[in-house]
Amino acid sequence: MTMIPNVLSIAGSDPSGGAGIQADLKTFSALGCYGMAAITALTAQNTQGVSGVHVPDASFIAQQIDAIFIDVRVDAVKIGMLGSPEIVNAVAQALARHKPAHIVLDPVLVATSGDSLGAPGVVEAMREHLFPLASLITPNLPEAACLAEAPVPADLAGLENLAIHLAGQGAQAVLVKGGHLSGATAEDVLFAGGKVSRFSAPRVETRNTHGTGCTLSSAIAAHLARGMALDEAVRAAKNYLTDALRGSDALNVGHGHGPVHHFVRLWR
Options 47, 138, 212, 215, the catalytic residue? 212
Q: Is 118 a catalytic residue?
A: no
DSSP output for 33-76: -EEEEEEEEEEEEETTEEEEEE---HHHHHHHHHHHHTTS---E
Specify the 3-state DSSP secondary structure of 111: coil
Options 20, 40, 112, 214, the catalytic residue? 214
Options 35, 177, 247, 258, the catalytic residue? 177
Q: Residue 11's beta-bridge partner residues?
A: 39
Q: Is 80 a catalytic residue?
A: no
How far CA 78 is from CA of 9, 122, 152, 249, in Å, comes to 5, 17, 25, 27
Q: Is 238 a catalytic residue?
A: no
- Cα of 185 vs its chain's centroid, Å: 21
Specify the 3-state DSSP secondary structure of 221: helix
Strands (E), 115-256: 136-137, 173-177, 185-192, 195-202
Options 35, 158, 211, 256, the catalytic residue? 211
Q: Is 258 a catalytic residue?
A: no
Q: Is 212 a catalytic residue?
A: yes
Options 27, 43, 138, 209, the catalytic residue? 209
Options 17, 20, 178, 213, the catalytic residue? 213
159 neighbors 200 (Cβ within 8 angstroms): no
- Among 205, 56, 176, smallest CA distance to 107 is for 176
Catalytic sites, residue numbers? 177, 209, 211-214
